[in-house]
């Protein structure tokens, strides 16, 4: 079950006047939804509660989104702020800006996105560890497309 499906599931659950609890479990992955007695508090959220204080705000250029997939609790998806071509390094045969496993500082450049022949440097707005690079060098990306998976530190 991917993020979109969970989102849809939540919306179905919210809209339902009848359901009060819903639980889906699948190969080590589990979603449990429960309505509060007053119905004001909508979702009691996914398994292990997550400190909401760690949620980062949007970056200046990039956009981060909480990762909802199983086993990704507390991780952040760094999304493309613009449409264009993704470059992982400042040039051909150059070292990539960041590698998986690397720790990045707030304000550090993660990649370049070329749009209209302009190279846009994309900065990260939190400190964290790069868990995954989603996009290959030189591929086109659309607005909101996940570029990196980051563990906030």
Partner 1 sequence: MFQKILIANRGEIALRIIRACRELGIKTVSVHSTVDENSPHVRFSDESVCIGPPESHLSYLQIPAIISAAEITGADAIHPGYGFLSENPHFAEICHSCKIKFIGPTSENIRILGNKAKAKEIMKAAGVPVIPGTEDQLDSPETAKKMAREIGYPVIIKSCFGGGGRGMRIVEKEEKIEAIFSSLQKEAFNSFGESNLYIEKYLQKPKHIEFQILADTEGNIIHLGERDCSIQRRHQKLIEETPAAQLSDSLRKKMGEAAIQATKAANYTSAGTVEFLVDSKGGFYFIEVNTRIQVEHPITELVTGIDLIKEQIKIAAGHKLLSGKDNFRFEGHSIECRINAEDPKKFIPCSGKITALNLPGGPGVRVDTAIYCDYTVLPYYDSLIAKLIVHGKDREEAIRKMDQALHEFQVEGIKTTIPFHRKVFKNKNFIKGEFHTDFVDSFLQH
Q: Which among partner 1, a copy of itself, none contacts residue 41 (Cβ within 5 to 8 A by kind)?
A: none
Site of interaction with partner 1 (CB under 8 A): 82-85, 115-118, 140-145
- Residue 122: how many CB atoms within 10 A of its CB? 23
Q: Which among a copy of itself, partner 1, none contacts residue 83 (Cβ within 5 to 8 A by kind)?
A: partner 1
Give, as ranges, the residues between 35 and 64 that touch a copy of itself (CB under 8 A). Answer: 35-37, 39
Q: Which among a copy of itself, partner 1, none contacts residue 85 (Cβ within 5 to 8 A by kind)?
A: partner 1
Positions that interact with a copy of itself (CB under 8 A)? 1, 3, 5-10, 12-14, 16-37, 39
């Amino acid at each position: 079950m991917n993020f979109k499906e969970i989102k849809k599931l939540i919306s179905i659950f919210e809209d339902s006047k009848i359901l009060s609890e819903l639980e889906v479990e699948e190969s080590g992955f589990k979603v449990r939804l429960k309505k509060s007695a007053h119905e004001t508090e909508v979702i009691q959220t996914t398994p292990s509660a997550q400190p909401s204080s760690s949620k980062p705000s949007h970056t200046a250029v990039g956009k981060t989104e909480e990762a909802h997939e199983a086993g990704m609790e507390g991780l952040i998806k760094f999304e493309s702020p613009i449409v264009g071509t993704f470059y992982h390094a400042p040039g051909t045969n150059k070292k990539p800006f960041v590698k998986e496993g690397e720790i990045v500082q707030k304000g550090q450049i993660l990649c370049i996105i070329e749009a209209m022949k302009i190279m846009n440097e994309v900065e990260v707005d939190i400190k964290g560890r790069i868990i995954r690079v989603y996009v290959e060098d030189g591929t086109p990306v659309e607005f909101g497309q996940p570029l990196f998976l980051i563990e906030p530190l």
